[in-house]
Amino acid sequence: MTHNHPETLVYLDYQATTPVDPQVLDAMLPYYRKHFGNAASRNHAFGWDAEKAVEHAREVLAQGIGTTSRSLVFTSGSTESNNLAILGVARMYQPKGRHLITCATEHKAVLDPMQYLVKEGWELTTLGVNSKGHLDLEELRAAIRDDTVLVSIMHGNNEIGTLHPIAEIGAICREKNVLFHTDATQTLGKEAIDVEAMHIDLLSASAHKLYGPKGCGFLYVRRRNPRVRIEPILHGGGHERGMRSGTLNVPGIVGFGKALELCLQNREEEQRKVAALRDRLQQQLMDKLSHVHINGDPEHRLACNLNLSFEFVEGESMLMGMHGIAVSSGSACTSASLEPSYVLRALGVGDELAHSSIRFSVGRFTTADEIDHAAALTISTVKKLREMSPLYEMAMEGIDLSNVQWSGH
Amino acid sequence: MVYSEKVIDHYENPRNVGSLDKDADNVGTGIVGAPECGDVMKLQIQVEDGVIKDAKFKTFGCGSAIASSSLATEWLKGRTIEEATEIRNVDIVEELALPPVKIHCSVLAEDAIKQALADYQKKQEEKS
């Protein structure tokens, strides 16, 4: 078995994770070396320094979403935040009812805890989406019942980048008196977030998607109007006001705060730059190749996201040809489950196009040269594979592939 | 997916990519798989005096599907019809060191060979 070592490496998988910004790392290092104390040590200077740094970061992060620092609970990342929000609210509000609402395109870290509750007897409404990944707000309104405890709808989608109208969803939930959780993993530091204006009751975020370290996240839990209460899922020292026990990841939290500070310093300008690079890639690919489809909503999507299906070629074989270009595919062959992307399926994208999908995501350190190199390599790979593809041959002969009787296997 | 050097070689330098005249009497064509499953293989043989003189493939699928069909065409060339039926998917798995999740690619290649041979034989029976 062998790994190829291409000469030029281009990272276009910023929605999977981001590199730590050097300024973030610089801010973190003292908290590994000199100020390594436990933020819960109340009786000595090491502890005080650590606590002070944590509280500063908490302040920055809270302000970044329009709230106060006492509303944040630090976690190990968005998967934990989503679990804590969903399981924590469900357990606490069980007397009110046992019904939950979510959307088919949510991350597994939302869908799986919901399914876990279904096994415990909860009822779940999973709202479908249209071909651009949008849910129907009237359908959401109609789905809310007297016994509905929580609505969980993400802000920006990790695969297709579609942005949900969070403020409108928040308003509906507020009007119907039901708690609203949003997974903002893909949008914190990128899209404007204000938990007051948007009526968000719980919000999940993670540092490593915004040039901070891995293993650090937070859950925002609203403290008033209404005061949201959650049952902890980790029990122990009573950290984070009892909502999440466990020694705080002080360097991680410091880095998280610094990372958001950097993002918000020139958020709009950076998003414009990222969108321009994304558009440059999209244009080159769509100009030079036929039968390319955008998955998601070309208008309301994350600036970094480009999810394309290249008809007649399979995603994993594309990745093999695109030496050194780090991207993701919705093809079954690249997933642990051996199923094509459930997100693309929810959009009504056929399985054959899901197998042909590639997600490119650009970020802070992407250059125009890298975009051009990636585009050229993608184009040559698609052309080479289409020459090898029986589907392309049939399509060029004018055969309608949807009318062919396939043998399957 | 981490592949063997042989899979990568077949992917980078596929042998016998192309098409033969599917309407010719001495050409057998097998098309297996389905686009929604993520792989479709077309495998063709051209037979002269009971010997496979040429073999071509086109494959939509992952790297190991491409490698399996490329290898199949290499093995088919020069074999008699009888000998061609002896190619087993396990031989392909072994030669390419396919990981367990990719065994179905080799099964597909074996199916494509069988279908191409059956198509050729059907044409011969219709002729006689």
pLDDT digits (tens, 9 = 90+) for A264-279: 999 999 999 999 999 9
Kindly identify which residue of chain B lies nearest to residue A404, measuring between CA atoms: B34
- The model's pTM: 0.94
Which residues 334-393 of A have a C-beta within 8 angstroms of B?
334, 338, 340, 350-352, 355, 387-393
3-state secondary structure (DSSP) of residue A158:
coil
Show pLDDT as tens, one digit a residue, over chain B (128 residues).
678 999 999 999 999 999 999 999 999 999 999 998 899 999 999 999 999 999 999 999 999 999 999 999 999 999 999 999 999 999 999 999 999 989 999 999 999 999 999 999 999 998 87
Q: Is A333 among the catalytic positions? A: yes
Is residue B35 within 8 angstroms of chain A, CB to CB?
Answer: yes
B104/A391 Cβ within 8 A: no
B42/A409 Cβ within 8 A: no
At A1 the pLDDT is 40
Q: What percent of chain A has pLDDT over 90?
A: 92
Is residue B37 within 8 angstroms of chain A, CB to CB?
Answer: yes
Which of A3, A333, A388 is the closest to B14 by Cβ? A388
A409/B61 Cβ within 8 A: no
DSSP-assigned letter for residue A343:
H
Collect all residues of chain B within an 8 Å Cβ-Cβ radius of residue A314: 38-39, 60-62, 65
At A3 the pLDDT is 55
Q: Which residue carries 């019809």 as its tokens?
A: B81
Collect all residues of chain A within an 8 Å Cβ-Cβ radius of residue B19: 393
A331/B34 Cβ within 8 A: no
DSSP states along A45-107? HHHHHHHHHHHHHHHHHHHHTTS-GGGEEEESSHHHHHHHHHHHHHHHHTTT--EEEEETTS-
Kindly identify which residue of chain A lies nearest to residue B32, measuring between CA atoms: A407
C-alpha A361/C-alpha A366 separation (Å) is 10
Which of A355, A388, A390 is the closest to B38 by Cβ? A355
Q: What is the pLDDT of residues A164-223, one digit of tens each?
A: 999 999 999 999 999 999 999 999 999 999 999 999 999 999 999 999 999 999 999 999
Is residue A396 within 8 angstroms of chain B, CB to CB?
Answer: no
Q: Which two tokens stand for residue A15?
A: 């929605």
